[in-house]
Chains A and B, each alone.
Chain A
Amino acid sequence: MKTAAVRFKGVSRHYGPVRAVDEVDLSIAEGEFFAMLGPSGSGKTTCLRLIAGFDQPTAGEVTIFGEDAGGVPPYKRHVNTVFQDYALFPHMNVLDNVAYGLMIAGMPKAERHKQAEGALELVALPGFGARKPSELSGGQRQRVALARALINEPRVLLLDEPLGALDLKLREQMQQELKDLQRKLGITFIFVTHDQGEALSMADRVAVFNDGKIVQVGKPEDVYYRPEVPFVADFVGSSNVLPPHVVEKIAGNWTHASVRPEAVSLVDAGLGVDGLHATVHSTAFLGTATRVSLDLDGFSMVALLPKGTRIPETGEQVHVKWSPEDLHLMDTA
């Protein structure tokens, strides 16, 4: 087996009583597009900072291409970061920003500027070198930050919520471009995001973080369709996580189960799941479908009804139904 690009062995980072990262084990292969997904404060950004070297673990070991990174400062790691706020140097023009790493490495001016021009072309910003970062739009700054990191030919590129500050349309475009770029360069990308759609659509593998721990690692389809714990079902798939008393009633000895909103249909009395009575709480028209929020014996559930089905009124009594194969069972607590 090849050496992992990045490996965490029992890594913890505690700030006093706060366990930002708690005994994380992780292995990221070379050339992989890896996403760290989780709500804010779940430890994903701290993990990224541990790889970059801005922070040191309180316990455990981080290795980068087999070498222990303990105590190695950021400037001695073959790892580069695209920051959430881009962190472009405001007193330099775009070209000098991109060429910064080469300047520090001692490359002569003419040569590093030539390479920086090339890097700007790679991110589709040719001829922008003379501008100041303050004269660029958010999307352009993002690309400059990307060029500035890539010009150093890192073995691992870290991206900290790089699309967070962009508007929806630009974000979708950049998602595609980042993915293409990663394929083209073959560099390991480690991508931190709280946006499940982004993680699922871009990454080869996704690690879902919660409370400083990784709760599930896997391919996007696995994480989405086969969540191992209720948190993943809820956070990644926005699935309906059924409470234990309902699970007991319909599935016997399993403890948790989830069902995806698009798998839920509303049916006449007698055809639904036994003993489940629902009241329509609200409906929202989404274009291709309508989202119906239901109140089901004291817990809420969401059904996504396709175009063409009858949409119930708010307050109406309905019955819910799903195919047995759409019920995803989990036996962890």
Chain B
Amino acid sequence: MRSDRAPLGLKIAAGAGLAFMHLPIVLIFVYAFTTEDKSYQWPPPGLTTKWLAVTWNRPDVWEALSLSLRVAAISTAIALVLGTLCAAAVSRTKFFGREAISLMVILPIALPGIITGISLRSAFNLADIPFSFWTIVLGHATFCVVVVYNNAVARFRRTSGSLIEASMDLGADGFQTFRHVILPNISTALLAGGMLAFALSFDEVIVTTFTAGQQQTLPIWMLEELVRPRERPVTNVVAMMVALVTLLPILGAYYLTRGTDTVAGQGK
């Protein structure tokens, strides 16, 4: 196929597709600075930055943001530990039911969130666990583990097993080997997985709806605001923040894993 020059029609179609995906986001950003707060009027009658200050002074925004950050941080931490351990077990050893376990770990991200949410909710009810911060964390951890696991398992597969043996052979015990050889080799994969997990958790709505009690994470708060708006552009300011907070880690993860296709122990 000739690929040096695309026909004009295709270029326009591609541009239109990209615009369709990204223009609405730009609209959200623009409305964060509008002077008019009753209806979304286009074009905005004037621009102002006063909504940034208004948002800053709204305690409900701060509460929701803080809850979201804490939930994302703790579910990511849980996911890092469990996902790495699971990846190590699946890629380093052979045991009965290994493939089944691998599938069961990945399943939560393939299942619709609503299924995960409903099943967790009924499980919590059955076990008489009151909905709290920790039930949200558990709900998020189910899919955060998958992201970390996927990243770690890919890196483990590319890391030669003889590196670990070499380290042991040179006098390092299990802990020293983990610290000096395993961790440096999987660190970028863990960082990437952790960032993705954090971003996923930060803007998660469906599972959170089912596992949260009275608390509102930031995305849930936004949903409420759309239904019962006060000072509409505040929602837009928050949306802008969420977009930035989730975009940066995802970009970071992309750059971290991009150049590392050929790593670790391809020592031939």
Contacts and interface: CB of A to CB of B under 8 A. Distances in A.
A83 to B, nearest CB: 5
A87 B268 contact: no
A256 interface: no
Contacts of B171: 75, 101, 104-105, 152
A101 B170 contact: yes
A81 B184 contact: no
Interface in B222-268: 262-268
A103 B177 CA distance: 12
Contacts of A105: 171
Given A54-B165, A101-B171, A148-B170, A89 B268 contact: no
A87 B163 contact: yes
A165 interface: yes
B160, B171, B262, most chain A CB atoms within 10 A = B171
Contact of B267 (A53, A54, A75, A87): A87
Contacts of B185: 90-91
A141 B166 CA distance: 14
Contacts of A149: 169-170
A120 interface: no
Interface string B156-196: 00001011011111111100100011001100000000000
A74 B176 contact: no
A75 B173 contact: yes
Given A75-B173, A91-B184, A85 B168 contact: no
Max chain B CB contacts within 10 Å: which of A53, A73, A79, A83? A83
Given A85-B268, A89-B181, A104 B170 contact: yes
A149 B168 CA distance: 12
A90 B160 CA distance: 10
A87 B172 contact: no
Nearest to A78: B171
A80 to B, nearest CB: 6
Contacts of A152: 170-171
Given A73-B168, A75-B169, A105-B171, A87 B265 contact: yes
Nearest to A84: B162
Contacts of B167: 89, 100
A133 interface: yes
A129 interface: no
Given A89-B181, A90-B185, A133-B267, A81 B172 contact: no
A45 B70 CA distance: 51
B163 A89 contact: yes
Contacts of B266: 90
A87 B173 contact: no
Contacts of A85: 160, 162, 265, 267-268
Interface of A: 52-54, 73-75, 79-81, 83-91, 100-101, 103-105, 133-134, 138, 141, 148-149, 152, 165
Q: What 10 A-B pairs have minimum CB-CB distances, sorted nearest first?
A: A87-B166, A87-B162, A101-B170, A74-B168, A91-B184, A104-B171, A86-B267, A104-B172, A81-B169, A83-B162
Interface of B: 160, 162-163, 165-173, 176, 180-181, 184-185, 262-268
10 contacts: A80-B170, A86-B267, A86-B268, A87-B162, A89-B163, A89-B166, A89-B167, A90-B266, A100-B172, A104-B180
